[in-house]
Amino acid sequence: MFKRYIASFALAATMFTTASDACTGITLTAKDGSVIHARTLEFAVDLGSNVLVVPRGYKRQGTTPDGKNGKKWTSKYASIGANGSGVPWIFDGFNEKGLSMGLFYHPTTAVYMPYKKSDAKNTIAVWELGSYILENFATTQEVKKNIKNIVVPAVVFKEWGFVPPVHFIVTDAKGKSIVIEYLKGKLHVFDNPLGVLTNSPSFDWHMTNLRNYPNLGATQPKTRKVGGIELKPFGMGAGMVGLPGDFTPPSRFVRAVAFTTSILPTSNGKETVIEAFHILNNFDIPKGSAREPHKDKHGNIIADFTTWTSASDLKAKKFYFRTYNNSQIRMVDLNKMNLNAKKIVTIPMEGKEPIKELRP
């Protein structure tokens, strides 16, 4: 199976460098303090993702640009989340302390750190950084304090054949969220009070762009008189007139902020997880709706689609997900796993949509 995924990615390498930038992440907090990190993952091909459970005491080693041994560590905390391309690294998930991490595509913007041979012992490839965070830290404050000691240079991800441009959102069990980006060769860590992330450009640009939408709101506007003419809204929802509805990262960022800041309060984690999936329904991309104007060299249409959507309950330690081919929400409970196992446990995410026939 792993060889099959390598072959499919080799054939579709051009897809990753063009149309793979439509992920959307949100954060919600319930009345009981449950924090939910949720996101969509879009790519132009199926990543073949599975749920991984990484135990405590698992030995790791980072990857360097020149093939030398990178940073070594042993996981302090067990973690759970989804991978991709058959690799043993988590792309989105959380650890036993309730710290979550999400890797998001960041094309045309991410530029990694310079590298010297003497940096090898502190070096990690960017696709390894998320797992490093989950396996070593319990809060965003710990991440902010220690991330500056890690060298993240440009390293080719052999499964895809190029250096993946990405950035990260990290959220802890108290709802504190940060964004980690590598811009012009330097590390940048931004506080993220809204808990929202999409893709390019940089996070600070998206926060500035929100100032273009100060009139958006869930409340129905009042009837106004303009030049003696009474203007009354046609129907409910007029407070969101002007909300951008396309699939571009800036528009999705604004839309995610509008929805997450306007929903009614939720009581607990499970209720909030369901609310998160409802919000992310608005970012679901059907195959073909967001495509490149040309085909690849094999004649394939290059189009993003929502391969899976996940929600992490950082209090209950439960990882929820659904996939493009199966919209039924499924869950893996970290509390019920052996956190001291010797190996990584893999749980398949694939499956076909169950359709239940109803009869009188």
Q: Could you list the active site residues? A: 23
Tokens of 128: 């390894």
List, as own/partner pairs, every contact residues 58-62 make where C-beta atoms lie below 8 angstroms and the sequence separation is at least 24, other chains included: 58/135, 58/344, 60/128, 60/131, 60/132, 60/135, 62/123, 62/124, 62/125, 62/128, 62/132
What residue has token string 């710990």? 142
Give the list of residues 6+ apart from residue 110 with CB closer than 8 angstroms, or none. 126, 165, 166, 167, 181, 182, 183
Q: Rounded to whole angstroms, how far apart are CA atoms 267 and 260? A: 15
Tokens of 305: 């689609």
Q: Rounded to whole angstroms, how far apart are CA atoms 282 and 45? A: 21
Residue 353, Cβ density class (10 Å: 0-12 exposed, 13-18 middle, ≥19 buried): exposed
Dihedral angle over CA of 287, 291, 293, 295, nearest 10:
-60
CB 88 within 8 A of CB 82: no
What residue has token string 């396309």? 246
Residue 18, Cβ density class (10 Å: 0-12 exposed, 13-18 middle, ≥19 buried): middle
Q: Rounded to whole angstroms, how far apart are CA atoms 251 and 239? A: 17
Separation of CA 97 from chain center: 19
Tokens of 347: 């749980």
DSSP letter string, 184-236: TTEEEEEE-TT--B--SS-HHHHHHHGGG-TT--SSPPPPEEETTEEE--SST
What residue has token string 């990615």? 9
CB 201 within 8 A of CB 181: no
